[in-house]
Amino acid sequence: MYDERFPGLRRRGFLAATSGAAALALVGCAGGTDDKADSASGTPKRGGRLRAAFAGGGASETLDPHLANLFADVARAKALFDKLADYGADLSAQPRLAEKWESNKTLDRWQVTLRQATFHDGKPVTAKDVLYSYRRIADPKQAFRAKASLEPVDLDASRATGERSIEFVLKRPTAEFPNVLAAFGAYIVPENATEFDDKPIGSGPFRFVSFAPGRSAVFRRNDDYWDGAPLLDEIEFVVANEESARVNALLGGQVEYAHELNPTTARAHESGGQIEIVRLRNSAMQAFCMKTDRAPFDDKRVREAFFLIADRQELVDGALSGAGEVGNDLFGKGYEYYAADLPQREQDLDKARALLKQAGAEKLKVTLDTSAVAAGFTEAAGIFRDQAAKAGVTIDVKMGSKDSYWSDILDNGTLCCYRSGAMPIEAHVSQRLLTDSTTNATKWQHKDFDALYQQAQSTRDKTERAAVYERMQRRLYAEGGFLIWGFADWIIGTGRTVRGVETKAPANTLDWARFDKVWLA
């Protein structure tokens, strides 16, 4: 949205959170390609070259899929490589290179069977490649992003049970193990591959042609792709960090696909007919994050008062320029296991004041940390400051550095702006809400809550599991530290000839930034 600052200055859309918390989401549901943007009118046509503009990482970019950090990295990795599984539109794991998976009774041993697929050099994808890839990611000397996601897997004990079958041994029962296979950055590379910038070999829908860090990457169709050869002859990823540049390039016909646009841009062009606007709903969770272990938020009445202070619609209209939906203080609207039955919270200043009074926190003064690190942050902070003033709470908005914001707010301060890209609700909980979570920004540390999580992970039956998730979410709804006020749309612009862009795919899901089903009319 409004963070079109200079390229490096603004944090160019980091894919957030572990497994892809960035914020977007084009979810294609379940690997499907049926729900096309703008109607998949006409018969798919082969051929052509598509140019896609992303915000990128400059000269430090790499094609090493395990180092993927930014949207551009992931889009490129996705074109060249595959994961064993990937997320569908509801963030449930869908099989990809894995044909199927089965667990033992205790949910701590999983048998994964690979489908028949080949790398670009013609060699088949084998269990050895999978184990090599996962071991590379988990290398203690390295700091690959997916390392944390693979933490449940005991890779030393896991082994290949056949050419295309692997037995994963887990450190503890993990009902959502397929989520691990779909984890952000857990791509499968050929055994012993270490160098990826020169001529990377993957099993993905496109083959490598050329790569200039920070500028462009050109890939060509892989006719032998196991999921069917892409329709495009060639795809070129170009880097344009300024949003206006991406829009201009799209308008000027220099690219056919522009990733991450502003809501205002979308509004300006939605009806113009020059370009197509694709909105990926429920992509980025927008929140204020209260540290529950310190005053004033160690009192749950104060937290509830803050829940009631927020006028969510005003925040969505102001900070997201209307491009989003209101939130209900729960992560993962529309995702698997989401507790959709809880009543939508509304602003109630009287009640908020009363709660604050009870808590002895009248004339409360709080510092709200924010930064231009993500779109809408500073706007949301300003708006919430004004809303809080009406409840007698004085909020002092403090701007922090964009480049170190996430690290700064992790342990410091009491109230901050927060956002997260799409990830399964399970991942959200495990990364942020357990006593030993690495990025527990709300300092939500409750043994009983941890126990609930363990219970869910040990529950084989899906319905029972869903019930446990609901209990956890009710607790968070009542007294959690995340004031989740909205979910932002992720906005993509495409040229008028582009067909087959999936519209229901929050960022980080399979069908977001997926080009093998896209074609040019």
Beta strands of 93-164 (E only): which ranges? 93-95, 98-103, 109-114, 159-162
Q: What separation, in Å, do the N-terminal and C-terminal C-alpha atoms of the chain show?
A: 30
Structure tokens at 287: 């929140």
**Contacts (CB under 8 A) with other proteins, residues 360-399:** 372-373, 378-379, 382-383, 386, 397, 399
Compute the distance between CA of residue 265 and CA of residue 203 in angstroms, rounded to an integer: 36
Least distance in angstroms from the C-beta of 308 to other proteins: 18
Q: Are the CB atoms for 52 and 235 separated by under 8 Å?
A: yes
Least distance in angstroms from the C-beta of 198 to other proteins: 12
Amino acid type, 145: R
Amino acid type, 443: K
Considering the rule CB under 8 A, would residue 264 count as an interface residue with other proteins?
yes
Considering the rule CB under 8 A, would residue 242 count as an interface residue with other proteins?
yes
User: Per-residue x/- marks for other proteins, 49-88, CB under 8 A?
Assistant: --x-x---xxxxxx------x-------------------
Nearest in space to 421 (alpha carbons), one of 242, 265, 261, 284: 284
Alpha carbon of residue 240 to chain centroid = 21
C-beta of 181 vs 285, nearer to other proteins: 285
C-beta of 51 vs 345, nearer to other proteins: 51
Question: Please, what sign has the CA dihedral across residues 498, 94, 375, 340?
Answer: positive
Considering the rule CB under 8 A, would residue 410 count as an interface residue with other proteins?
yes
Nearest in space to 349 (alpha carbons), one of 296, 315, 398, 386: 386
C-beta of 75 vs 361, nearer to other proteins: 75
Least distance in angstroms from the C-beta of 398 to other proteins: 9
**Contacts (CB under 8 A) with other proteins, residues 271-330:** 314, 317-319, 321-322
Amino acid type, 241: N
The single-letter DSSP state of residue 344 is P
Q: Which range binds other proteins by CB under 8 A, 37-45, 210-218, 334-342, 455-463?
A: 210-218
Least distance in angstroms from the C-beta of 400 to other proteins: 8
CB-based burial label for 517 (10 Å; 0-12, 13-18, 19+): buried
Q: Which range binds other proteins by CB under 8 A, 37-45, 85-93, 407-415, 506-514?
A: 407-415
Least distance in angstroms from the C-beta of 95 to other proteins: 26
C-beta of 255 vs 488, nearer to other proteins: 255
Q: Out of 40, 229, 268, 359, point to the residue binding other proteins (CB under 8 A).
A: 268
Least distance in angstroms from the C-beta of 500 to other proteins: 22
Considering the rule CB under 8 A, would residue 435 count as an interface residue with other proteins?
no
Least distance in angstroms from the C-beta of 5 to other proteins: 6
Q: Out of 50, 80, 245, 468, point to the residue binding other proteins (CB under 8 A).
A: 245
Compute the distance between CA of residue 106 and CA of residue 121 in angstroms, rounded to an integer: 39
Residues that contact other proteins, how many (by CB under 8 A)? 86
**Contacts (CB under 8 A) with other proteins, residues 189-208:** none
Distances (CA, A) of 461 to 105, 112, 140, 176, 332: 11, 19, 34, 11, 21
Considering the rule CB under 8 A, would residue 256 count as an interface residue with other proteins?
no
> Using alpha carbons only, what angle is made at residue 342 by residues 340 and 343, rounded to the nearest 5 degrees?
115
**Contacts (CB under 8 A) with other proteins, residues 445-504:** none
**Contacts (CB under 8 A) with other proteins, residues 128-167:** 140-143, 145, 147-148
Q: Out of 243, 256, 502, 511, point to the residue binding other proteins (CB under 8 A).
A: 243
Q: Out of 14, 168, 177, 337, point to the residue binding other proteins (CB under 8 A).
A: 14
Considering the rule CB under 8 A, would residue 38 count as an interface residue with other proteins?
no
Q: Are the CB atoms for 250 and 266 separated by under 8 Å?
A: no
Q: Out of 160, 169, 229, 251, point to the residue binding other proteins (CB under 8 A).
A: 251
In order, the DSSP letters of 176-203 are THHHHHT-TT-EE--TT----SSS---S
C-beta of 379 vs 502, nearer to other proteins: 379
**Contacts (CB under 8 A) with other proteins, residues 169-188:** none
Considering the rule CB under 8 A, would residue 48 count as an interface residue with other proteins?
no
| Torsion, Cα of 423, 425, 428, 430 (10° steps) | -120
Considering the rule CB under 8 A, would residue 254 count as an interface residue with other proteins?
yes
Least distance in angstroms from the C-beta of 379 to other proteins: 5
Least distance in angstroms from the C-beta of 283 to other proteins: 15
**H or E segment to which residue 349 belongs:** helix 349-358
Compute the distance between CA of residue 362 and CA of residue 39 in angstroms, rounded to an integer: 54
Cβ-count burial 172-209 (b if 16+ within 10 Å, e if not): ebbbbbbbbbbbbbbbbbbbebeebeeebbbbbbbbbe
C-beta of 16 vs 352, nearer to other proteins: 16
Q: Out of 113, 216, 367, 458, point to the residue binding other proteins (CB under 8 A).
A: 216
Least distance in angstroms from the C-beta of 213 to other proteins: 7
Considering the rule CB under 8 A, would residue 5 count as an interface residue with other proteins?
yes
> Using alpha carbons only, what angle is made at residue 416 by residues 410 and 420, rounded to the nearest 5 degrees?
75
Q: Are the CB atoms for 392 and 356 separated by under 8 Å?
A: yes
Compute the distance between CA of residue 443 and CA of residue 330 in angstroms, rounded to an integer: 16
Q: Out of 113, 165, 248, 445, point to the residue binding other proteins (CB under 8 A).
A: 248
